[in-house]
Amino acid sequence: MSGSRIRRQAALGVAVLASAVLLVLAGSGVASAKPVKKTAKAACAGHKVRTLPFSTGRVEVFKSRGYLCAIAFDKRPGARKSMSVSIQARGSRPARDKGNYTHHAGPVTVHAGHRCVRVTGKIGRGGVSSGWILC
């Protein structure tokens, strides 16, 4: 056998071995994976600027580079109930999410720039409206 043929076979053997190791490692990671709880920080970019509490939950508002994001969280998650969240920049239409959810409504995002925004959230019979904020 020539030297180049031996090198090619050795390289092929190393590639096959590396692939087998990666498959074993990936397979073991999938078997032990746990469900990840979705958090507001994961759903909305930026930093939290407001929390609006109310009797059945809370609305968290995040800001990043002129964009504002809102999520309404249920105080007692689990059962499906009517939830909604909206955020509106002054002079624009509101972005809304409404439905029957078990944990949260949203996220909803708007570009506000330096304009005031109004945030509303409702879960079951409780709700909150911020009025014009973050001006």
Please write the tens of the pLDDT for every residue from 21-30: 444 444 444 3
Q: What local confidence, expressed as pLDDT, does residue 127 receive?
A: 98
pTM of the predicted model as reported, rounded to 2 decimal places: 0.70
User: pLDDT at residue 52 above 60?
Assistant: yes
Same domain, 28 and 58: no
Using CA atoms, how far residue 114 sits from 17, 90, 111, 117, 128, in Å, is 56, 10, 9, 9, 23
If one counts the domains in the chain, the total is 2
Given a contact cutoff of 8 angstroms between Cβ atoms, the answer to whether 34 and 45 are in contact is no
- The phi and psi torsions of 2 (rounded to 5 degrees) equal -85, 160
The domain in which residue 115 lies consists of: 40-133
Same domain, 47 and 30: no
CATH number at residue 68: 2.60.40
Same domain, 17 and 73: no
Same domain, 28 and 79: no
More confident residue, 61 or 28: 61
